[in-house]
Structure formats: C-alpha cells, structure tokens
Amino acid sequence: MSAGGNLGHDAAKVGVQFGLACHNRGQHRAAPILAHTHHGGGGIVATAFQTKDQAGLRLGRGHGGFPLQGTCTAGNTAITRKQCRSLVMPQPRLLLTRPHPGAAQFLDRLSPALRDGAVISPLIEIAPTGVEVDLAPFAGVIFTSANGVAHAPKGDGRPAFCVGPQTTAAAAKAGWQAQMAGLDAQALIATLLGQPQIGPLLHLAGRHRRADVAAILGASGLTVDVATVYEQNLLPLSSAAQTLLNGPSPVIVPLFSPRSAQHFAREASCTERVIALSISPAAAQALEALPLYAHDVAAEPTGEAMAEAVEKLFRCTTLP
C-alpha cells in the first residue's frame, strides 16, 4: 500500500493490526496512520497512511496482533479500524500513572469492567515542601491543581481563583470562596488579566509548573507572588506496570500532564500495545516519538472528559 493510499480500500486488504512485538521496537515507524481533523464530527478521523514527518495524532501499524473493531470517537479522535470478527481481541487493561490519591479517585469513576485488573503505578509522588504560607498580605490565591489545595492553609472564606472543576470543588471544600477561572492555566491567566483591579494574589503551586502564572500576570501589571507548597518527585514504573505493558493485551494509558507523559515515555519498556490518552496537546506532544498503537486527546483538560474518553476507548475495543 502506498503512503497516500485509500484507507477504506487498503485497510480492507491488510487491516489495521495491533502493535509490533516489543523486540521489534523502533522498527517500521515510517508509515503510521495519520489522523486528520474531521470537522463534521468535531473530532479527528484516520484517513491515510502517511510518513512520520507529517504532524497529527496517530494510530500505530505493525506486524501481528489483533485488529480493533469498527469506528470509535473517544476524545478528539474518531478512530476507524477494520472490522474483523474472525479474531478475538484480548480485553484491554488499564494502567493509571496518576499520583495517589488521584489515581484511586479516577478509578472509582470508571465502570467495573475497567476497574477489573487495572494497575496503578504512580509516576509522580506528591510531597509537601514544608514552606510556611502567610496569607495576610494577599487578597486571594490561585490554585492550578488540587494538590495545591491539599497543601495550602484552610481558606476561611478567602477568594481562590482555580483551574478546572475538580480543583474548584476541592478549594470550596477546604473553605475557600472558590471560583473556576478556566479549564487550564492559559484560560485562568486570560480571566485574571480581564480583572486588573484584583490582587495582590498568591499562587500556591508545585515545584514543576508548565506555565509561570505569577510571572505572566506580573508582567501584565498584576501583583502575584508564588509559594511552592509541594514537590512532584518522579517514580519508576512498577514491575506490575512493566509486566502489563509487555503482555498480550492492549493497555489504555491515560496521561494527565506533560511531565507525566514525558516520564512515561522514558520509563515504559514496551509501548506497541499502548492506547494512550493525553489530557492536552502538550501532553500528547511528549509521546510523539513512541511506537504507540493509538493516541487520543481528551475533548477538554478535565478528569470528567478523561474518564469519558477512557470508557469510550474501552467500549470500542471490546465491541464485536
């Protein structure tokens, strides 16, 4: 089949098969399936085999293994696969790499079939820095993660500008007058820049931050300081996780941050059977070099959207 061939015709001949054997890792990467924007459905649909130099979300193609069934739209991607009822695909397993207790909380959102046999192997450990926080000079705080809430003083009714519904709910529960200011840090920054009268503010954050919220807001005239209240220490994948990745079943792996995606890319011993789900395009970019079976991005950067996408990916890989 040529790189520009017709997927509907060629897939009927060769199928879209599941993964390379791990001992072949790094081979046959020149012609993955490239996913293109599909405006009619609001997602992305696999349309042709392309060269690895072309950008986009991809479905892997290898030798042997099991083809997936039918067509599925999970997050932002509509994944089209050859229907092949003559082979039985192993039921996908779930690997969660979120820190505790977030991994267990996410697992509780999912259906029993997904929870059964799931492996939790945190790639990041959240630990307090022990810094003492004085809230007296500030009119309010910024939370970009529920981990910031967990390591902050009690709110006692003070204003808190938060990223995402989960962080907002956690802040409200901890006594803050919580307001969701956006689904990600960029949206929060835009919201706060539209309120130049607020401040001074304190960003209660982790050591590793993709966006320097305080610096960006400060450069625009707002008074914002930052207090690093927790560490995000990297952890290796457990032996149970590596065994799962090297086993015969497809593995759904949700990744909730660019840093955890980068670390997964370094740690995973075999990814040819991985169906990756990234919370954002930035997280997805960290997996570009991996030989994945499939890769999708959640419709929005929230736990709810991630859970919904995981369920849809599971359903479309188990339907006859």
| pLDDT one-digit tens code per residue, 108-164 | 999 999 999 999 999 999 999 999 999 999 999 999 999 999 999 999 999 999 999
Q: What is the pLDDT of residue 111?
A: 96
Interior CA angle at 107 toward 119 and 154, to 5°? 120
Average pLDDT, the chain: 79
- Which domains are assigned to the chain? 7-98+249-318 (no CATH), 125-233 (3.40.50.10090)
One-letter identity of residue 50: Q
What's the token pair of residue 268? 């995973």
Write the DSSP string, 79-106: EE----TTSPPPPPEEEE-PPTTHHHHH
- Give the DSSP letter string of 6-67: -HHHHHHHH-------GGGTTSS-SSPEEEEEETTTTEEEEEEE--TTS-S-EE---SSS--
Q: Are 90 and 249 in contact (CB under 8 A)?
A: yes
**Cα(124)–Cα(267) distance, rounded to whole angstroms?**
12
How far, in Å, are 140, 160, 161 from residue 172 at the CA level? 13, 9, 11
pLDDT at 320: 54
pLDDT value for 76: 55
259 vs 185: CA distance, rounded Å: 15
pLDDT digits (tens), the chain, 320 positions? 333 333 333 332 223 334 445 644 443 333 333 332 233 333 332 322 233 333 333 455 333 333 444 445 556 554 433 333 334 568 899 999 999 999 999 999 999 999 999 999 999 999 999 999 999 999 999 999 999 999 999 999 999 999 999 999 999 999 999 999 999 999 999 999 998 888 899 999 999 988 899 999 999 999 999 999 999 999 999 999 999 999 999 999 999 999 999 999 999 999 999 999 999 999 999 999 999 999 999 999 999 999 999 999 999 887 55
Q: What per-residue string of b and e applies to 36-45 under the rule 16 or more CB within 10 Å gives b?
A: eebeeeebbb
In this structure, the dihedral spanned by the alpha carbons of residues 294, 37, 181 and 283, taken in order and rounded to 10 degrees, is 30
